[in-house]
């Protein structure tokens, strides 16, 4: 409620309860100004509760936790909101779904069938750090087929003899022809975790949401 709406509610009284003069008007204005501070805050909270699009900060965390997606360390609102939407709307369980999810979070990554054991191999470009790969695996756990094992390998970034890059200003030693890859020290087992409690605990602990 805006200031004028609050003031109109306070003044919605029979004439016998009102008093003439400026002092009465100023008293009602003062009360309305104080109460509108609370009503404006409630309007903003309800706006974020009612619409995921409007949610930000702690309220976006509440939306994410309701769907079981906790915010990653240092994850900004725009990335977190996109991750929630993409995960809920994503295809799941098929190779095209896995490849599409890789393209969102690991550009240049590929998925191929493991030739030696059951399951698949996720190939990650060498530029990605272990922390980035681990963050991807957390989200990937909702996309992959249950019971299918995956292994992760990463392309090397060193300089290898016999490879060259043509840049137009002479020959520069590079690694664009190499196929060397190494296993990543992260595991992703065949099982998936059980359901977790989706109560957004921030409702009880965040002072900006529940003062």
The pTM for the full model equals 0.54
Q: What is the DSSP string of 127-186?
A: TS-HHHHHHHHHHHTTTSPTT--EEEEEE--S--TT-EEE-SSSEEE--TT---EEE-S-
The domain spans of the chain are 3-50, 91-183
User: Could you give the strand order of the β-sheet that contains 181-183, starting from the edge strand earlier in sequence?
Assistant: 110-113, 120-124, 150-155, 181-183
Q: What is the mean pLDDT of residues 145-156?
A: 81
Per-residue pLDDT tens over the stretch 34-44:
877 777 666 66
- Give the model's pLDDT for residue 17: 79
Residue 94: partners with Cβ closer than 8 Å, 6 or more residues away: 145
pLDDT band at 191 (very low <50, low <70, confident <90, very high): low
Lowest mean pLDDT among 83-92, 103-112, 170-179: 170-179
Cα separation, 122 vs 133, whole angstroms: 11
Q: Which of 209, 211, 196 is nearest to 60 (CA)?
A: 209
Q: Is the pLDDT of residue 123 over 50?
A: yes
pLDDT band at 175 (very low <50, low <70, confident <90, very high): very low
Q: What is the mean pLDDT of residues 144-167?
A: 67
Taken in order 121, 124, 126, 131, the sign of the CA dihedral is: negative
The per-residue pLDDT of the chain, averaged, comes to 76
């Amino acid at each position: 409620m805006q200031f004028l709406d609050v003031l109109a509610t306070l003044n919605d009284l029979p004439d016998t309860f009102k008093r003439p003069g400026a002092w009465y008007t100023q008293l009602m204005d003062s009360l309305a100004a104080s109460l509108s501070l609370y009503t404006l805050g409630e309007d903003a909270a309800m706006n974020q509760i009612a619409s995921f699009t409007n949610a930000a900060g702690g309220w976006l965390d509440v939306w994410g936790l309701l769907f079981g997606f906790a915010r990653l360390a240092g994850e900004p609102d725009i990335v977190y909101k996109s991750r929630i939407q993409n995960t809920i709307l994503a295809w799941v369980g098929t190779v095209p779904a896995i490849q599409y999810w890789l393209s969102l979070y690991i550009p240049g990554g590929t998925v191929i069938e493991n030739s030696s054991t059951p399951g698949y191999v996720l190939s990650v470009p060498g530029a990605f750090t272990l922390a980035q790969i681990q963050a991807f695996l957390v989200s990937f756990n909702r996309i992959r087929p249950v019971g299918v094992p995956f292994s992760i390998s990463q392309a090397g970034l060193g300089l290898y003899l016999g490879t060259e890059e043509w840049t137009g200003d002479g020959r520069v030693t590079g690694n664009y022809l190499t196929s060397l890859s190494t296993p990543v020290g992260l595991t992703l087992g065949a099982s998936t975790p059980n359901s977790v409690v989706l109560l957004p605990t921030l409702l009880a602990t965040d002072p900006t949401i529940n003062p």
